[in-house]
């Protein structure tokens, strides 16, 4: 009994998940399986990744990767989802939060499509591309996605310019 407990202690099997997560936490991590194996939190390519239940099995990103706990390490779709969510954080960085919410988050929440059609939508296909997901997309959707993002980019610049102009004392 004592010996067994000692062995468990050494292996970390009885340690609460969050403690293990914090021990393993590395912002340099680029292994999708480590994100999927974490109990609550991990990191991926410099971004925090959080296991989030109650998202209807969907994963989403707002600079932090929210990953559905239903996704499993070693599973192709799960690994692609981590990469895809990271791709959304790249979109966010490029567009800025205000534009990202309009151009990506809002249409993404509304779209009901699944599978190939869903991942061929302009705001989704570009997350795949920026995250390095190799997935089959509808014909021409990658070009349409790039054009879509390019179309939103000037709105970020315009918004920043007006913020600068309105800043008091500038």
The residue among 20 and 55 lying less far from Zn ion, judged by its C-beta, is 55
Q: Are 120 and 142 in contact (CB under 8 A)?
A: no
Nearer to Zn ion, 38 or 125 (CB): 125
Shortest Å, Cβ 22 to Zn ion: 28
Nearest to 110 by CA among 69, 51, 58: 58
Contact range with Zn ion by CB under 5 A, out of 32-40, 65-73, 117-125, 159-167: 117-125
Strand partners, 50: 41, 66
Closer residue to Zn ion in complex, CB, 21/35: 35
Q: Give just the sign of the alpha carbon dihedral 86, 88, 91, 93.
A: negative
Nearer to Zn ion, 26 or 118 (CB): 118
Binding segment for Zn ion (CB under 5 A), chosen from 6-14, 42-50, 67-75, 120-128, is 120-128
Report angle CA 63, 68, 74 to the nearest 5 degrees: 105
User: Which range binds Zn ion by CB under 5 A, 36-44, 64-72, 123-131, 147-155?
Assistant: 123-131
Strand partners, 65: 49, 61
Site string for Zn ion, 63-102 (x = CB under 5 A): ----------------------------------------
DSSP-assigned beta bridge partners for residue 170:
none
* CB of residue 108 to Zn ion, shortest distance in Å: 5
Q: Are strands 65-67 and 60-61 parallel, antiparallel or unpaired?
A: antiparallel
């Amino acid at each position: 009994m004592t010996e067994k407990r000692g062995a468990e202690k050494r292996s970390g099997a009885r340690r609460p998940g969050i403690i293990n997560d914090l021990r393993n936490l590395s912002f340099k991590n680029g292994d999708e399986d480590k994100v999927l194996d974490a109990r609550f939190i991990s990191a991926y390519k410099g971004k925090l990744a959080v296991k989030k239940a109650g998202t209807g099995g969907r994963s989403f990103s707002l600079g932090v990767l929210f990953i559905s706990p239903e996704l499993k390490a070693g599973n192709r779709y799960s690994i692609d989802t981590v990469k895809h969510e990271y791709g959304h954080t790249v979109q966010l960085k490029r567009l800025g939060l205000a534009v990202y919410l309009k151009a990506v988050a809002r249409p993404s929440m509304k779209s009901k499509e699944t599978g190939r059609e869903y991942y061929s939508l302009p705001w989704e296909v570009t997350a795949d591309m920026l995250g390095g997901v190799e997935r089959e997309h509808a014909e021409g959707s990658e070009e349409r996605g790039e054009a879509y993002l390019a179309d939103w980019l000037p709105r970020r610049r315009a918004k920043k310019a007006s913020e600068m102009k309105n800043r008091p004392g500038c």
